[in-house]
Amino acid sequence: MPEHLYTEYPELYDAIQSGWNYDRDVQFLHEALMRHDIDGNRLLEVGCGTGEHTTRLAAAGFDVTAVDKHAGMLDRAREKCDVNFHRMALPDLPSGRFDAIVAIRGVVNHLPPDALEPALSAIETHLAGGGLVVFDNSALPAEGNDLALDDGTDDDPAYARIARHVPTDDGRLEWQSVVFSDETCFVNTRRMTPFEDEQTAAALDDYGFEVERHDGYGPQDHRTVFVARA
């Protein structure tokens, strides 16, 4: 499955995501940690991508360990901040226990349906007593959607992207896109799982978490954010 955007063109990924409100997400995390009186600063970020959240979390004083499965994304992230990076993906996580574990922007939706509980088991194992988990479930269109055009003529590098979600026979979605820039043109695909919120909440409950649900990280964010206390 070609994932060229993540393996070869992380700078284009940054351009495509340049309008995302990373500061809002990190502010949500801060408020959740304060609300739950999490005193420790050992934080594990799962699916760190090119390090935009990572950079902000490190600047805020967290002792950050960050993981991603794509070497290209990690190389880009290392250019932005100096934290402990690892190339791995759920359910594999670095050794140690953390006061908070976060997986922001649909990281969990990249898991196959049968991998949710092993992922939560790994998170529970690596979470310090009383620690906090924050992750989201993207509002994916289970029936798929029509082609959409996204362009960033003012970004650096400039780009255009045509994309859609297509249902697969195993109940997942394939995100299909064609990305154009001044330098290249390529197809990028990835598989995603439209988990039900109730399914996710029940799985967290099975592992003994106290669960809060929030409607996004802020206004106009149409995803469910789970804040779970060990």
Average pLDDT over residues 4-9: 94
Query: Confidence band (pLDDT; 50, 70, 90) for 153?
Result: confident
Mean pLDDT score across all residues of the chain:
95
Which pLDDT belongs to residue 192? 97
Category of 18 on φ-ψ map: left (φ > 0), alpha (ψ -120 to 50) or beta? alpha
| Secondary structure of residue 31 in the 3-state scheme | helix
Which helix or strand (DSSP H or E) is residue 179 part of?
A: strand 173-181
Average pLDDT over residues 89-103: 97
Which helix or strand (DSSP H or E) is residue 45 part of?
A: strand 42-46
4-140+194-229: in CATH 2.40.50.100: no
**Which tokens is 115 given?**
């991998």
Spell out the domain ranges in the chain. 4-140+194-229, 148-192
Per-residue pLDDT tens over the stretch 165-200: 999 999 999 999 999 998 899 999 999 999 999 999
* Cβ contacts of 29 within 8 Å, gap of 6 or more: 57, 100, 102, 134
